[in-house]
């Protein structure tokens, strides 16, 4: 599928994959990218620390407009003080705001988690519901958050279209849409349901480490031979290698408690970074 061509960001020749011409060709290309990303990130996982569905739901809501790292550095104190929806719904708003301050937009986020926790307490007996229809009735919970929780805390397959997933799906040619719901539909048509959650992790891992929004490291990208967008970023291998992040660049990851197979270092606690 790879063809020689020109048009790298630096005017050098690059090997760019031809965009598939048929739906079957696109399915093949998509699944090949998925498989090869699995070899690059065999340890791909959710990058929020959590121990139960409630913690994952709150952490996901807090991750808006900030990094998973910042959320992971904030939630240990939060969940130590308010371990259940009942505890969190009864929290003093100002104390809650102070704990949430490092995540930014802390007043709005405090209001969100108070409302969300009260809805769990009042409407769902203090339990996080394990289905999309109920999850999206919770204040501040949209499809993206619901799919994160379903996929990672309940084992229900879900595609999580965040900024990385949307951008990479367009670069791979899996969709042309900017609308997250349409991206989800277009990509869902290319993969069996059983792959959806892991697909989300692998693509997001790649977006965070190599295929960055502004400076994709094409010259250091292990799936460049499959990618129709190869060459939109840095193609010089040495310069591209310097753009790599987290464990691919030799840096700590985002989780304070990463899974045992994670090859990088754990993230530092709040105040140590």
Active site residues: 144, 162
Which one of the spans 67-75, 77-85, 122-130, 221-229 is the region binding ligand SF4 (CB under 6 A)? 221-229
Nearer to ligand SF4, 54 or 205 (CB): 205
H or E segment at 3?
A: strand 2-5
Least gap, CB of 48 to ligand SF4 (angstroms):
24
Q: Where in 24-53 is the site for ligand SF4 (CB under 6 A)? A: none
Nearer to ligand SF4, 103 or 230 (CB): 230
- The 141-180 site mask, x for binding ligand SF4 (CB under 6 A), equals ------------------------------x---------
Which one of the spans 56-64, 101-109, 177-185, 224-232 is the region binding ligand SF4 (CB under 6 A)? 224-232
Cβ atoms of 4 and 15 within 8 Å: the answer is: yes
Least gap, CB of 218 to ligand SF4 (angstroms):
3
- What are the b/e assignments for 208-242, b being 16+ CB within 10 Å? bbbbbeeebbbbbbebbebbbbbbbbbbbeeebee
For residue 137, give every residue at least 6 positions away whose Cβ sits within 8 Å of its Cβ, in sequence order, or none.
119, 123
Structural tokens at position 98: 């102070």
Which one of the spans 23-31, 126-134, 220-228, 262-270 is the region binding ligand SF4 (CB under 6 A)? 220-228
SS3 83: coil
Which one of the spans 2-10, 110-118, 126-134, 222-230 is the region binding ligand SF4 (CB under 6 A)? 222-230
Which one of the spans 42-50, 64-72, 193-201, 226-234 is the region binding ligand SF4 (CB under 6 A)? 226-234
Residue 87 CA to its chain's centroid (Å): 28
Residue 217 interacting with ligand SF4 (CB under 6 A)? yes
Rounded CA separation 49/38 (Å): 21
Residue 203 interacting with ligand SF4 (CB under 6 A)? no
Least gap, CB of 168 to ligand SF4 (angstroms):
7
Nearer to ligand SF4, 138 or 227 (CB): 227
H or E segment at 17?
A: strand 14-17
Rounded CA separation 250/43 (Å): 16
For residue 135, give every residue at least 6 positions away whose Cβ sits within 8 Å of its Cβ, in sequence order, or none.
128, 129, 141, 145, 146, 149, 150
Q: Which of 71, 221, 243, 267 binds ligand SF4 (CB under 6 A)?
A: 221
Strand partners, 15: 4
Could you please report the per-residue DSSP string of 178-198? --HHHHHHHHHTTS-GGGHHH
Residue 233 interacting with ligand SF4 (CB under 6 A)? yes
Residue 211 interacting with ligand SF4 (CB under 6 A)? yes
Q: Which of 159, 210, 243, 267 binds ligand SF4 (CB under 6 A)?
A: 210
Q: How many residues bind ligand SF4 (CB under 6 A)?
A: 14
Cβ atoms of 56 and 116 within 8 Å: the answer is: no
Binding-site ranges for ligand SF4 (CB under 6 A): 171, 210-211, 216-218, 221, 223-224, 227, 229-230, 232-233
């Amino acid at each position: 599928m790879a063809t020689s061509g020109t048009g790298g960001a630096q005017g050098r020749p690059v090997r760019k994959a031809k965009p598939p011409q048929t739906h079957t060709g696109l399915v093949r290309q998509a699944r090949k990218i998925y498989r090869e990303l699995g070899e690059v990130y065999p340890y791909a996982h959710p990058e929020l620390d959590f121990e139960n569905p409630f913690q994952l739901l709150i952490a996901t809501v807090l991750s808006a407009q900030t990094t998973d790292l910042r959320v992971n550095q904030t939630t240990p104190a939060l969940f130590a003080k308010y371990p259940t929806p009942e505890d969190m719904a009864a929290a003093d708003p100002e104390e809650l705001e102070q704990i949430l301050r490092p995540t930014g937009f802390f007043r709005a986020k405090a209001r969100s988690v108070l409302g969300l926790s009260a809805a769990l307490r009042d409407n769902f007996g203090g339990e996080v519901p394990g289905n999309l229809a109920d999850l999206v009735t919770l204040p501040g919970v949209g499809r993206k958050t619901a799919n994160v929780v379903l996929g990672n805390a309940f084992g229900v397959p879900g595609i999580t279209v965040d900024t990385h997933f949307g951008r990479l799906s367009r670069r791979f040619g899996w969709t042309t849409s900017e609308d997250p719901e349409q991206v989800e539909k277009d990509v869902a048509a290319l993969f069996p349901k059983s792959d959806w959650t892991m697909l989300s992790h692998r693509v997001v891992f790649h977006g965070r480490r190599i295929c960055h929004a502004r400076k994709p490291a094409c010259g250091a990208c292990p799936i460049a031979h499959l990618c129709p967008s190869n060459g939109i970023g840095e193609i010089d291998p040495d310069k591209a290698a310097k753009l790599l992040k987290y464990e691919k660049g030799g840096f700590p990851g985002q989780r304070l408690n990463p899974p045992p197979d994670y090859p990088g270092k754990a993230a530092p606690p709040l105040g140590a970074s």
